[in-house]
Amino acid sequence: MEANQKRRKLRVLCLHGYRQNATTFREKTGALRKAMKSRLEFEFLSAPLTPNLEDRPTVDSDTTNFDDNSAKAWWFSKEPATFPPKMSHRSLLDLTNH
């Protein structure tokens, strides 16, 4: 490889946790992104599903001041908030189309 030729950065897919979104996860990874910015390109995606307000945790430092309208989920695992297989397929399509 020539000295003038730039190395291509690796792309990292970043998927947030339950009741978070791409914006909040990006904010939480600021130090990591800064440390790795010369080697990695981070791609943050928000899940397509909106969790029920009744499912929110009573006390959780990550979600205490979180806007419920922007909370997202990749899937649900408890009745009755489960969904047909086509919904999980939708989540996968969102990932592959990005």
Q: Is residue 35 included in any domain, yes or no?
A: yes
Q: Is residue 45 included in any domain, yes or no?
A: yes
Say whether the peptide bond before residue 48 is cis (omega within 30 degrees of 0). no
Tokens 């990874």 appear where? 29
Tens of pLDDT, residues 43-84: 999 998 888 766 555 555 454 445 667 899 887 777 666 555
Q: Is residue 82 included in any domain, yes or no?
A: yes
Q: Is residue 87 included in any domain, yes or no?
A: yes
Q: Is residue 90 included in any domain, yes or no?
A: yes
Q: Is 42 helix (H, G, I), strand (E, B) or coil?
A: strand
Give the span between the Cα atoms of 67 and 54, in whole angstroms. Answer: 14
Q: Is residue 19 included in any domain, yes or no?
A: yes
Work out the burial of residue 75: count CB atoms within 10 Å of its CB; fewer than 13 is exposed, 13-18 middle, 19 or more buried: middle
Partnered with residue 73 across adjacent β-strands are 49
Tens of pLDDT, residues 8-21: 999 999 999 989 99
pTM higher than 0.85, yes or no? no
Q: Is residue 46 included in any domain, yes or no?
A: yes
DSSP 8-state code for residue 9 = P
Domain tally for the chain? 1
- For residue 41, what are the domain limits? 11-50+70-96
